[in-house]
Amino acid sequence: MNTNPISTAQRIKAIVGGSIGNLVEWYDWYAYAAFAIYFSNSFFPDSDLNAQLMNTAGIFAVGFLMRPIGGWLFGSIADKIGRKKAMTLSVLLMSFGSLLIALTPTYKTIGILAPILLLIARLLQGLSVGGEYGVSATYLSEMATEDRRGFYSSFQYVTLIGGQLIALGIQLILQKLILSEAQLEEWGWRIPFVIGALLSIIALYLRANLHETEAFENKKDFNEKKKGTIKELLKHPKALLTVVGLTLGGTLAFYTYTTYMQKFLVNTVHLSKEQSTLISFVSLFIFACLQPVFGGLSDRIGRRPLLLGFGVLGTLCTVPLLTALSTTTSMWSAFFLIMAALIIVSGYTSINAVVKAELFPSEIRALGVGLPYAITVAIFGGTAEYIALWFKKIGSEEYFYWYITGCILFSLVVYIGMKDTKNTSTLDKD
């Protein structure tokens, strides 16, 4: 056992440091989605905006396909040699991916090599962010005290959303104060990727100075051949399937109302790019602030009631909300409808990290949290934009609303059948 317990000051420093590193990782990831409306023409010379967006969304989806590999690779590293080292490596890889996007010439300059380099950069980012989720969820959950796990682990989604907010904030500043739309489309879209590469250096420094978790230190003597292995993970089939089931509906809803929503507001609601960015920014800021509130609530009443609330309301309200949003002409109406959806989704986002961490023992926790989550997100979250745009292209956009509803209903069945992990947490055995 570890004879040097972590002090409160060290614990808070670790949670802040881990969260800020997470924020930088997700900023890099979301900068692609936020600026796709400006750089799609640089890599895919097609006069149809929807076709260009489908191509960039396709590469966005391919990036997600690398996430299971990242979940396996970095999850294994975290379980074998430490959470801290795995998080440091993941942010280094993300930095390289952002720099590659920033420096890649356009299609007019190097032809087919341009989208190929964009794809390579996105694959590297997908590998990095695939590892980031499981490792940081594990780290924050293990660093938190027993009575505040929901609250502290909710900061993973605060910083995940925060990364998106910074991307949108930079976009707003460039749109409103610095560059014209023509400049943004010509070269200004490169700026956020340069910023991302620079921020990653700061995150790298913070993570290099983190304290390792007691849960990992206490299992240092566990059989090295078993730690972080697929074989050991498969001994927990129920926990694995639970991660898949509880993630499925939540990740699809999350990516619909955050990453895809900006394009939906431009493409379907017919608001301007500037209006869409502003609505996305304000709604996401409030959404981020809600995460610790819901996380703290789960420490008092349990995780399961929040998951059930998301499952029931998500199943009943998704089609009405998106239908109303698609026909509105008011910025304010669009904002309130999106906000209603994000409040519902908070029942999942605020606590999903700690719920997954509470399912697995420490010797395979990072792998158990990261791999099944990454596979589910790759299939359902990563393809959300592409499927939505495809339904729109064939003139049946409303089918996408029912697709989301069906996935949330599937997750609801899982929530109904699972125990409350607050009361059965494996973290209590560390």
Domains of the chain (ranges, CATH numbers): 15-212+229-423 (1.20.1250.20)
Output the CA torsion sign for 346, 164, 276, 52. negative
Task: Give the number of other Cβ atoms within 10 Å of residue 180's Cβ.
Answer: 11
Q: Band the pLDDT of 348: cuts 50, 70, 90.
A: very high
- Check pLDDT > 70 for residue 51: no
Q: Band the pLDDT of 55: cuts 50, 70, 90.
A: confident
Task: Give the number of other Cβ atoms within 10 Å of residue 427's Cβ.
Answer: 21
Under 8 Å between Cβ of 38 and 174: no
- What is the Cα–Cα distance from 114 to 104, expressed in whole angstroms? 6
Q: Band the pLDDT of 222: cuts 50, 70, 90.
A: low
Its pTM stands at 0.84
Amino acid sitting at position 93 = L
- Check pLDDT > 80 for residue 303: yes
Under 8 Å between Cβ of 366 and 86: yes
Question: What mean pLDDT is reported for the chain?
Answer: 87
What confidence score (pLDDT) does residue 88 get? 87
Q: What angle do CA 232, 234, 238 make, to 5 degrees?
A: 125
pLDDT (average), residues 333-359: 95
pLDDT (average), residues 60-86: 87
pLDDT (average), residues 116-135: 87
- What residues contact residue 218 under an 8 Å CB cut-off, 6+ apart? 1, 2, 362, 430
Q: What angle do CA 66, 295, 137 make, to 5 degrees?
A: 30
